[in-house]
Chain A
Amino acid sequence: MIFWEIAKRNIRLHFLRSTLAMLGIVIGVVAIASMGILGNSLVATVSDSLSSVGDSVIVFPYAGGGGGFGGGGGSSENMKITDQQFQQIKRAVAPSVAIPVLSTSERMKVGVGGDDIVASVYGVDPKYLPDLNFELSAGSLNNANSGCLVGSAFAKDNNIKVGSRISMGTDGSKGTLRVTGIIKERGMSFDISTDNAVIATQAWFENTYKTENYDEVVVKVKSGQDTADVKVVIEKQLNKRDKVVSVMDSKATLASIYETFGAVTTFVTAIGGISMVVAGVSIFNIMMMSVNERVKEIGIMRSIGTQKKEVMSMFVYEAAIIGVIGSAVGGILSLVAGYAISALMLQSTKYLFTFATAFSVFEGVGFGIVVCLACGLYPAWQAANLNPIDALRHE
């Protein structure tokens, strides 16, 4: 149609300013879409590294105040969970399995003449190992008293193989552990972070550190039971008089982490939206210019029988062309930008080609087109409603 043709030619005539307006839209789309992509990749990365947690509830000794995360090693005896408390937990959560875990951090040395390193050391009774669902990349679950499992990163960093020996404590003062198995990478975990740790037996740990109390109790919740219910049951049982333990529901914690990431993604996308608003203003600006410099032309068109809606369509087409081209280029570039940002910030681009990415790009492109049309609408309406006589008299 002729108005489409005129719109195209007018854009070509004002190539520079049309291109600049398109650039604004490109930036807006890239900002929104790449922020969305980054957010999605972030969530995907986190969920991947947390997914091995499964349904567990973790009981920590109450630290007073804050409570929660990582009631790790080095805590004093009254900051521990007693065996009596453990028995209470065990009864309360049945048929889910309660696993007592001891932990500390320790200085150690691998091989002869190696450097001193410090790593977490856990004590877990071998009978619970199947419940913890450790996947091994080599060796087997240890049963021997002086055997241990090590995490993948720890093994890699220190060149450890099945059968390697680790001398514990300063100058081997805590004896030697023999590696019987290497646990596959599990990522960050709420219960036991194995990747950089040594998992010894409970007996060895108690013997070595002369302790009988536990640092945490991990409850692997059986399917059919709800983590939230288990948490409530434990709190009811143990915190009757004083708050002695804090209980973390991994599922709820995970949910709130996702919620937080979701909010962050929304927030950064909204910041991207600001650049889209700026782009919209520039579209509005050039459309107003386009109308103002063509008042006379509009007057002629109207006087020789062009309907209002036809005049309007001509300007809407113009805004639409800028919007669609700008948004399409923006869509393509946002994939590139998303790739670059993911590669730089997450050191991984494996989450790029997902449905969520497609949605983010779609969202950015759609938003770009809508903004262009919305910002072109008022100038177009104004053009259509010019008084033909006044427009004709315009010089």
Chain B
Amino acid sequence: MLFQDVAKVYPLPAGDVRALDGVSFQVDRGEFISVMGPSGSGKSTLLNLMGCLDTPTEGDIYISGTRIGDMSDAELTSLRRDRIGFIFQYFNLFPLLNIIENVTFPMMLKTGKGVDPERGREVLRAVQLDDSLFTHTPTELSGGQQQRVAVARALINNPDILLCDEPTGNLDSRTGAGIMDLMTELNRNGTTIIMVTHDPHIAEYSRRTIRISDGRIVS
């Protein structure tokens, strides 16, 4: 993944916000990168651009050689579905679906039909969630358990890239460490991980750290 002179401007009534400004860097396959910086520095904006949720105002972003600015919304959506896994700070599970359904949801999107729940169970076991919870609804689970489900959901389509926006931001440190161990193992198995955090302990799990401040990379 390659960022070339990327800027992102949010036009607001009170004036344009330049959330990212002249950002260039490259992410290679198999890397584990953490993105650090103060609140409002543009970390989430950066992650959203990597996740093809948005296109840059200036500059170019290439994923596997394809410029994402040239892709249609439907193409970007398919790309997110098939090649990118998202993990959010607030877990963001679907309240109307049970655990298995939450996990297999991206797979149902991909195949366009029902999915063997066994596939969901496999992934849930891989993230060390207890079998007895599989048919519960998300609100019946603890934060750590929910985040494990979210990780499983992000993994079900075997993505190349895992994007995490403060994945431990809502967990106590012990539970957070559990999630981070999981991430480390995924990365060891070849998944590229980019993780936004402002916790230096969490950033230690990664192998490279990008620091950003006021929309610019400082190191």
The interface of chain A, by Cβ under 8 A from chain B, is: 1-2, 5-6, 9-10, 13, 296-297, 300-308, 310, 388-389, 392
Contacts and interface: CB of A to CB of B under 8 A. Distances in A.
9 contacts: A1-B112, A1-B113, A2-B108, A2-B114, A302-B53, A303-B51, A304-B81, A304-B85, A389-B54
Given A6-B94, A6-B97, A296-B92, A304 B105 contact: yes
Interface magnitude class on chain B: 20 to 34
Contact of A304 (B48, B95, B97, B106): B106
Interface string B80-95: 1110111010001011
Q: At the interface, is chain A mostly helix, strand, loop or mixed? A: helix
Contacts of A301: 94
Nearest to A308: B73
A184 to B, nearest CB: 67
| Candidate in B77, B78, B97, B154 with the most chain A CB atoms within 10 angstroms | B77
A300 B97 contact: no
Closest 6 CB pairs of A and B: A305-B81, A305-B80, A9-B96, A300-B92, A2-B108, A388-B53
A356 B80 CA distance: 54
Contacts of A306: 77, 81, 109
A302 B77 contact: yes
Contacts of A389: 48, 53-54
B125 to A, nearest CB: 21
B26 to A, nearest CB: 23
A303 B80 contact: yes
Nearest to A307: B77
Interface of B: 48, 51, 53-54, 73-74, 77-82, 84-86, 88, 92, 94-97, 101, 105-106, 108-110, 112-114, 153-154, 157
A304 B153 contact: yes
A2 B120 CA distance: 15
| Candidate in B82, B105, B113 with the most chain A CB atoms within 10 angstroms | B105
B92 A305 contact: no
Contacts of B48: 389
| Candidate in A2, A5, A392 with the most chain B CB atoms within 10 angstroms | A2
Contacts of A6: 94, 96-97
Contacts of A13: 96
Nearest to B91: A300
B111 to A, nearest CB: 11
B215 to A, nearest CB: 16
Contacts of A310: 109
A305 B81 CA distance: 4
Contacts of B53: 302-303, 388-389, 392
B74 A297 contact: no
A10 B51 contact: no
A259 B80 CA distance: 62
A307 B96 contact: no
A233 B101 CA distance: 83
A342 to B, nearest CB: 45
Contact of B86 (A5, A296, A303, A307): A303
A1 B97 CA distance: 13
